[in-house]
Amino acid sequence: MKHLLIAFCGLDGSGKTTQLHFLKHWMFSNQQAVLTTRQPSDDYRNNDRVRNYLDNGVVSNMKAIALLAAADRQNHISEIILPGLEKSHVLTDRYLYSSFAFFKARGLNIDFVRSINPDIPEPDLTVFLDLDPKVTLERVSNRDGSLKFEERNSKIFEDVRETFLKVLPKNSLILDAQLSENDIHKVITNKVKELLNNDL
């Protein structure tokens, strides 16, 4: 049986991480081996240059930040995703499409971001939890108690959402993130059942 690569994407606060864990437990309960992971890794998230931008909006060269993200992704795919797929299904919290969306909102051309991310495997399924940017910021503020640099400007998140909807694969499952968690989970599991049955 071919193992599935499933990417969960969406704005912060959309519920993508929650839905990833719901699917993980559903797969476990159906005797499916599954690995969960996320992009970018902590190496990228904790880089001083990255943190200075995310927390304070200070950056001398945005292309350099994009290159750090691309290198992190290549390592993640070669060290985690591809080996993982040999033994199990892989669920990833964020994927390449987040880089397209966020770096475009940060002023970079999508073609440049695409050029520094060659040979990225396309997921068997991409789940996008679609949420109004204003609701996103309300949820993040309630969850974290404060907002990072980009989260203080709803226009950035409007741009991110717009780009996501343009760059997601055509077979993406785009769901209203304001539906109940159970309703969203049912739609996702029905789609995953279909993919699993097609591969049996």
How far apart CA 18 and CA 127 sit, in angstroms, is 12
Look up the CATH number of the domain holding residue 165. 3.40.50.300
**Buried-state track 164-190, b at ≥16 Cβ within 10 A, e below 16:** beebbeeebbebebeeeeeebbeebee
Domain interval for residue 108:
5-199
- Whether 122 contacts 71, CB under 8 Å: no
pLDDT at 138: 79
66 C-beta neighbours (distance < 10 Å), count: 19
Give the residue from 98, 95, 108, 99 showing the smallest Cα distance to 61. Answer: 108
Whole-model pTM over 0.85: yes
Per-residue pLDDT of 22-49, as tens digits, reads: 999 999 999 999 999 999 999 999 999 9
Of 135, 129, 178, 175, the closest CA to residue 157 belongs to: 135
Confidence at residue 148, expressed as pLDDT on a 0 to 100 scale: 66
Write out pLDDT tens, residues 74-87.
999 999 999 999 99
Confidence of residue 126 (pLDDT cuts 50, 70, 90): very high
Give residue-wise pLDDT tens across range 142-193. Answer: 776 555 666 667 788 899 999 999 999 999 999 999 999 999 999 999 999 9
Count up the domains in the chain and report the number.
1
